[in-house]
Amino acid sequence: MTLNEADLVRRARDGDQDAFEALFREHQGTMYRLAYHFTGSADLAEDVTQDAFVKAWERLAHLRDDGAFGGWMRSILLNQVRDSYRRHKDEQSIEDLAGSAESTETDDPPPHDRLAHEQFRQDVRRAVMSLPEHQRTAVVMHHLEGLEIGDIAARLGLKKGTVLSRLSRGRQMLKKKLAGRTQGWPS
């Protein structure tokens, strides 16, 4: 017998750790990729992802729609990413925390271009994280995870029109926040 996500959530809520592990296995990759996109650090993304799943386990009783675990999990993860930014705001940037080595390829852009590009990525991350949660979720799922509107609606239990509205408003807010820096931002 194969259990669907809602059944797994119900069993996990009743204390079934195997059911929660199945939810973890199903969503871990997506959550990690999302965390990595925002943090730019494999180690930090792993920490944020683990922290988010721990919070999900602790707060599972608060999930209202058993079939909406993925969307709920994204919200928890994005809050963990935001908390990580707050903890490190006076320290070096998230990218510096990654400890990534300088590339040695000969076709690298000049340092000032790399710096400008990295600054733009940080600006976009901050702008996305500052969106209201419902808009941030739609923007992240569509533009960062590459999900279609119908898939987002199904995962969040919303109508397509609601997702389109949230996506549109989120884009408008991002354009305002990134005024003068939006070349190439989808319209």
**CATH code at position 68:** 1.10.1740.10
Q: Are residues 138 and 81 in the same domain?
A: no
Residues present in the chain in total: 187
CA 174 to chain centre: 16
> On the CB side of 146, how many CA atoms lie within 13 Å of its CA?
3
User: pTM, whole model, 2 decimals?
Assistant: 0.57
Contact partners, residue 177, CB within 8 Å, separation at least 6? 127, 130
Tell which of 33, 66, 99 closes a domain. Answer: 99
Confirm whether 187 is domain-assigned: no
Q: How many helices (H) and strands (E) does the chain have?
A: 9, 0
3-state SS class at 83: helix
Q: What confidence score (pLDDT) does residue 19 get?
A: 93
Domain count, the chain: 2
Domain range for 130 is 110-182
Q: Are residues 22 and 83 in the same domain?
A: yes
The DSSP line for 48-93 is HHHHHHHHHHHHGGG-S-GGGHHHHHHHHHHHHHHHHHHHHTTSS-
Q: What confidence score (pLDDT) does residue 130 get?
A: 86
Instruction: Provide the token pair at 15.
Output: 């204390």
DSSP label of 106: T
Tell which of 76, 99, 122 closes a domain. Answer: 99
Q: Are residues 114 and 95 in the same domain?
A: no
**CATH code at position 134:** 1.10.10.10
Give the separation between CA 114 and CA 58, rounded to whole angstroms: 41
Cβ proximity of 141 and 147 under 8 Å: yes
- Each residue's pLDDT expressed in tens, for the chain with a length of 187 residues: 457 889 999 999 999 999 999 999 999 998 998 888 887 788 888 999 999 999 999 999 999 888 889 889 988 998 888 888 766 653 443 344 334 334 434 455 566 566 666 777 777 778 888 888 888 888 888 887 778 898 888 878 889 999 999 999 998 888 888 886 645 444 4
Q: What confidence score (pLDDT) does residue 102 get?
A: 40
